[in-house]
Structure 1
Amino acid sequence: KTRAVALEPVQEVTIKKKLPTKQRRVVVTGLGVVTPLGHDPDVFYNNLLNGVSGISEIENFDCAEFPTRIAGEIKSFSTDGWVAPKFTKRMDKFMLYLLTAGKKALLNAGITGDVMDELDKTKCGVLIGSALGGFKVV
């Protein structure tokens, strides 16, 4: 038996090209991390390259009533020298992670108080990677 297959005509696709825009260069000057793989950029990067997993059994709270028993928890974290003690009692952990990583990035970039005063802050940016906020927020 022979079957006939009807072919539909191919629709033309027009691609709109964007006009060239003035591209700006971006310079990464400092890194700060607080992750399950480490709290220092070099440690984090080496653990990432070596295939180290930051996933383990949940220890920070009782998860018996939840179907998930594993997570990428932040361990051995300290705000000492990064966040004032009065804030550590009031803020959720994810905010403490954010502030600590941000301050570490500034230090890594060599941005001290004097340099900070002179910066054009309209030309500065911060990139934050986060899965979700803290449990107090959720």
Structure 2
Amino acid sequence: MSMRRVVITGMGIACPLGLGVERVWKRLTNGESGISAIQSFDVSDIPAKIAGQIPLGTKADGNLDISEWIPVKDQKKMDRFIHMAMVAATEAVEDSGWVPATEEDRCATGVMIGSGIGGLGTIYEAADAGA
């Protein structure tokens, strides 16, 4: 088995401090927190009222409007976790400056994605449905 060289050329991030490595790093080193009151769903029946949520808004502001990244018809086919992974992966490829010119180049392009836990909404819905 031959070892192939791997080169990290770009990075991307979607997290409670926003989108974009530079913006997130700046907020992190300034001691800012991404924790805020939960507003995306009703929390009256749960003890936790705060969470680390990806801020909604425009891409230009370093926030998330998923329709700027993924067509609406495709959004419904994926878990929200996959949306975030695709945003970060797209950022990483853009950050690298890589613009694959051929199908072979596109097939040779890869992105490594890391997450503590993904698809929690889908996991919850399945558990709630008794699956």
Residue 115 of structure 1 deviates from its aligned partner by: 6.5
Distance 1:71 1:103, change over 3 A: same
Larger Rg: 1
Residue 62 of structure 1 deviates from its aligned partner by: 0.5
Q: Secondary structure of the equivalent of 1:136?
A: helix
TM-score, length-scaled by structure 2? 0.73
Q: Extract structure 1 runs of 4+ deviating beyond 4 A.
A: none
Residue 96 of structure 1 deviates from its aligned partner by: 0.6
Residue 120 of structure 1 deviates from its aligned partner by: 7.7
Counterpart residue number, 1:99: 86
1:85 aligns with 2:65: no
Amino acid at match of 2:81: F
Q: Distance in 1 between matches of 2:103 and 2:28?
A: 31
TM-score, length-scaled by structure 1? 0.69
Match of 2:116 among 104, 122, 130: 130
Q: Distance in 1 between matches of 2:67 and 2:118?
A: 24
> Sequence identity, in percent?
31
Q: Pick the structure with more strand per residue.
A: 2
Amino acid at match of 1:133: G
Amino acid at match of 2:99: T
Counterpart residue number, 1:50: 30
What is the CA deviation profile of residues 6-37 of structure 1, one whole-angstrom value per residue up to 9, with x for unaligned ones? xxxxxxxxxxxxxxxxxx97642111111110
| Runs of 5+ unmatched residues, structure 2 | 57-63, 125-131
Q: Distance in 1 between matches of 2:13 and 2:102?
A: 22
Q: Distance in 1 between matches of 2:103 and 2:94?
A: 11
Residue 64 of structure 1 deviates from its aligned partner by: 1.0
Q: Pick the structure with more helix per residue.
A: 2
What is the root-mean-square deviation of aligned Cα atoms in Å? 2.5
In the alignment, is the contact (CA less than 8 A) between 2:17 and 2:55 conserved in 1?
no
